[in-house]
């Protein structure tokens, strides 16, 4: 089948490839692969399937080669010989590529070493079978033994290759690892039983001791805290600047997005767990049960765990519709399943600026399934207690630092299953507690910082022996960290000057703030006092201080003046379909997007963002402000230039403003920044056209060099 002159060339080529492989093996760590050869090494996963198929077919035909019906069939013998030759040559090329690839950073470990030797073994064995299969000593028994050995090497080499690429025990994991939660919540640790399994399923295949992409391992505490070549991947207590979360939330088609496109992505529940874990200082030793029952991390972790073995509660109501739950989950409310397979739900409302009674009313379709409701620091008023009382199966309710009074607490007495009620930070007179007699199932009552004296708490505890009254913390002489202050303003976009409202749940604290971009300190920064007015675009940074306590974490909020609201807005060019939010209306709805560009509140594009603003009555603005996001590692940069045109209508416009931004550099922090463009008008106008230009080619230092940057805008303000 193969002409003699071609056969000789092929035989010599196969021999040369085997010698080259031996040279590469002997060179070992002394081998340095030049950059121009690295793409060849990275083709290893691309072509390895071809020799596998050829060799599997060859060994199958070799096993039956000496049967009487095939022994004297020339085509069968020649075809089998050609399969062995083709398979051996392709496996040799694949092995060479693999040896090149293994010299790159991140390919260390036992699995890589064993995969290397089995791969090289496949080349040598297939080459020897091809060379010696026509010798007289090579009989039927030898053919069967050679086929079995080749099959064994292919299986083991493939298994180890899958482990290197996809993670430990990739092939047999589905049948060897039980699905679903196996650890009861009362025995579970946050990292070991919730966070680590997420890493193992979605991340460890590329970040283990055998394959360390980016010099990063996610297999143990030390490696996770160490980070990789790009630095630390988590900053305990600061999820907003943690590289891990930044990579997870990148667009999936971006090179730095993790996990890479084509691999299983993290679910919304898994992303929530990682966010809350980092926010809680990434504690590797914390038990889930030690977290407060209304804690966001505990509620997020609960859906990955079994209910406590001794306290598992049976519910007599059906599960809610999954589509309804998904629809109700949004950027101010998180709904989690209490435990795997349970119909019970926990609800966590967390965005104070977006809170309204409607937030609770929208939960009506799942009111029977809600057993835990967290309204911590929300401006809930007495009127909303009637809505809460409709959640007939509620077991736990957190109203800490809300705006309710004691007048209507008995509205909640109809909740016959209510076991835990938290009222910390609410001023309550001693007379309010007479209403507690009507709460038949109550087992825990949190009254910290309610203004209730120690003697009144003692009397209350004596009168309610079946209820655990929690009145505060016991001073052990060690300083504690203050709770961060809270912005109590209901809106952050204003037409008329607004009064700054900041509070702190701890008595006697001193709140200090800045408006110049500096972090507040306990000595030089301004002291907050009620009545401070804000009349222009302002960024407020605030911290709480108190003698004998550690200062709180800093909180930041931006206030935006907008005196000339457009009557309508239209996009001249479409934005990216993934970041189109509510279309052009997004720019004039007064709803700020925050730091999360994936929350459906931002417009994003990689081309010029161009839109029109229309006013029914003529206006004479002096500034136009675009509220933009900068997250350099996510390829989101401030616009390089903003151009503004104005006129009586869209057909008669002239340039009225232009702003060029400073060069943006590597390592700059993520920030939401208002860009103010001064306008120069000769007469009132009814129409404004705005163009925000991206960086058309990112600099060489950026991982996406040569590609355009993203521009993200959530609001436009005209003053």
Which tens digit of pLDDT belongs to each residue from 345-396? Answer: 989 887 777 788 999 999 999 999 999 998 988 889 989 999 999 999 999 9
Q: Is the pLDDT of residue 608 over 60?
A: yes
How far apart, in Å, do the first and last CA atoms of the chain sit? Answer: 85
Confidence of residue 168 (pLDDT cuts 50, 70, 90): low
- The alpha carbons of the chain give a radius of gyration, in whole angstroms, of 33
Give the mean pLDDT of 420-431: 82
CA distance 76 to 234: 61
Tokens of 395: 């077991």
Contact 677, 593 (CB under 8 A): no
Which tens digit of pLDDT belongs to each residue from 547-568? Answer: 878 888 888 888 888 999 999 9
pLDDT, residue 45, reads 67
DSSP 168: T
CA distance 380 to 373: 12
Contact 364, 348 (CB under 8 A): no
Contact 315, 394 (CB under 8 A): no
User: Does the pTM exceed 0.75?
Assistant: no
Contact 686, 615 (CB under 8 A): yes
Which tens digit of pLDDT belongs to each residue from 81-121? Answer: 888 888 788 888 877 777 777 666 555 556 667 777 888 88
Give the mean pLDDT of 256-279: 78
Q: Select the more confidently predicted residue: 261 or 196.
A: 196
Nearest to 418 by CA among 377, 372, 461: 372
- Residue partners of 398: CB distance under 8 A and separation at least 6: 294, 373, 374, 375, 376, 422
CA distance 298 to 194: 10
Tokens of 482: 């203050």
pLDDT, residue 712, reads 95
Averaged confidence pLDDT in the chain:
82
- For 648: left if phi > 0, alpha if psi spans -120 to 50, otherwise beta; the answer is alpha
CA distance 126 to 59: 9
Contact 418, 467 (CB under 8 A): no
Q: Is the pLDDT of residue 310 over 50?
A: no
Q: Is the pLDDT of residue 25 over 90?
A: no
CA distance 196 to 405: 43
Contact 407, 434 (CB under 8 A): no
Tokens of 563: 């005196």
DSSP 264: P
Which tens digit of pLDDT belongs to each residue from 663-675? Answer: 999 888 888 889 9
pLDDT, residue 66, reads 80
Tokens of 275: 């966010």
pLDDT, residue 312, reads 54
pLDDT, residue 479, reads 64
Give the mean pLDDT of 134-158: 82
Nearest to 436 by CA among 454, 417, 460, 452: 460
CA distance 221 to 465: 43
DSSP 192: I
Percentage of the chain modeled with pLDDT above 70: 87
Residue 398 host element (H or E): strand 396-398
Confidence of residue 36 (pLDDT cuts 50, 70, 90): low
Nearest to 133 by CA among 87, 70, 69, 66: 66
Tokens of 586: 């997004």
DSSP string over 533-571: EE-S-EEEEEEEE-TTSBPPPPEEEEEEE-SS--SEEEE
Which tens digit of pLDDT belongs to each residue from 186-207? Answer: 788 888 888 888 888 778 777 7
């Amino acid at each position: 089948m193969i002409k003699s002159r071609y056969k000789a060339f092929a035989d010599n080529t196969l021999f040369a490839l085997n010698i080259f492989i031996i040279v590469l093996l002997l060179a070992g760590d002394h081998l340095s692969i030049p950059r121009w050869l690295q793409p060849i090494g990275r083709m290893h996963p691309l072509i390895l399937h071809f020799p596998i198929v050829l060799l599997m077919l060859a060994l199958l035909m070799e096993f039956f080669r000496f049967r009487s019906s095939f022994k004297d069939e020339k085509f069968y013998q020649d075809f089998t010989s050609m399969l062995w030759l083709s398979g051996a040559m392709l496996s040799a090329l694949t092995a060479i590529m693999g040896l090149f690839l293994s010299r790159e950073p991140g390919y260390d470990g036992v699995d890589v070493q064993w995969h290397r030797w089995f791969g090289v073994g496949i080349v040598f064995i297939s080459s020897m079978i091809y060379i010696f299969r026509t010798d007289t000593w090579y009989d039927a028994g030898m053919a069967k033994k050679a086929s079995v050995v080749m099959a064994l090497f292919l299986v083991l080499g493939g298994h180890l290759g899958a482990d290197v690429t996809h993670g430990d025990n990739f092939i047999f994991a589905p049948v060897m690892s039980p699905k679903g939660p196996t650890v009861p919540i009362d025995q579970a640790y946050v990292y070991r039983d919730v966070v680590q399994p997420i890493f193992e399923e979605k991340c460890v295949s590329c970040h283990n001791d055998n394959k360390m992409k980016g010099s990063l391992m996610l297999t143990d505490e030390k490696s996770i805290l160490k980070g990789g070549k790009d630095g630390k991947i988590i900053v305990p207590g600061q999820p907003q600047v943690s590289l891990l979360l930044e990579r997870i939330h990148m667009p999936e088609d971006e090179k730095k997005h993790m996990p890479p496109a084509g691999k299983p992505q993290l679910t919304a529940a898994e992303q929530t767990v990682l966010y809350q874990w980092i926010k809680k200082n990434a504690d590797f030793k914390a038990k889930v049960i030690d977290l407060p029952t209304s804690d966001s991390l505990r509620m997020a972790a609960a859906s990955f765990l079994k209910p406590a073995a001794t306290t598992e509660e049976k519910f007599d109501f059906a599960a809610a519709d999954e589509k309804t739950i998904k629809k109700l989950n949004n950027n101010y409310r998180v709904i989690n399943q209490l435990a795997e397979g349970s119909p019970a739900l926990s609800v966590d409302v967390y965005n104070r600026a977006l809170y309204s009674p409607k937030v609770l009313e929208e939960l009506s379709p799942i009111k029977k399934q809600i057993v835990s409701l967290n309204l911590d620091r929300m401006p809930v008023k007495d009127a909303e207690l009637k809505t809460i009382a409709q959640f007939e199966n509620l077991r736990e309710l957190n109203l800490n630092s809300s705006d309710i009074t004691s007048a209507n607490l008995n509205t909640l007495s109809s909740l016959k299953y209510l076991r835990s009620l938290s009222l910390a930070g609410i001023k309550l007179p001693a007379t309010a507690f007479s209403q507690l007699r009507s709460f038949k199932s109550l087992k825990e009552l949190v009254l910290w910082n309610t203004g209730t004296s120690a003697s009144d708490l003692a009397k209350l505890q004596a009168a309610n022996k079946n209820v655990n009254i929690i009145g505060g913390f016991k001073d052990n002489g060690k300083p504690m960290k203050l709770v961060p202050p809270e912005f109590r303003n209901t809106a952050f976009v204003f037409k008329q000057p607004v009064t700054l409202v900041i509070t702190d749940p701890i008595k006697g604290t001193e709140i200090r703030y800045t408006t110049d971009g500096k972090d507040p300190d306990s000595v030089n920064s301004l002291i907050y006092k009620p009545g401070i007015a804000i009349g222009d675009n302002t960024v407020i940074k605030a911290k709480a201080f108190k003698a004998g306590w550690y200062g709180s974490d800093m909180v930041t909020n931006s206030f935006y003046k907008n005196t000339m609201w457009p009557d309508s807005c239209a996009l001249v060019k479409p934005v990216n379909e993934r970041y189109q939010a509510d279309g052009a209306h997004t720019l004039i709805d007064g709803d700020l997007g925050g730091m999360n560009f994936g929350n459906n509140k931002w417009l994003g594009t990689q081309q010029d963002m161009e839109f029109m603003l229309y006013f029914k009555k003529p206006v004479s603005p002096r500034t136009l402000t675009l509220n933009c996001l900068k997250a350099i590692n996510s390829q989101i940069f401030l616009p390089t230039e903003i151009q503004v045109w104005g006129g009586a209508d869209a057909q008669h416009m002239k340039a009225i403003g232009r702003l060029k931004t400073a060069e943006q550099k590597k390592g700059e922090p993520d920030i939401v920044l208002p860009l103010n463009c001064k306008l120069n008008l000769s007469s009132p106008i009814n129409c404004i056209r705005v163009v925000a230009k991206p960086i058309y080619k990112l600099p060489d230092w950026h991982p996406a060099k040569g590609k355009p940057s993203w521009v993200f805008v959530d609001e436009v303000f005209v003053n």
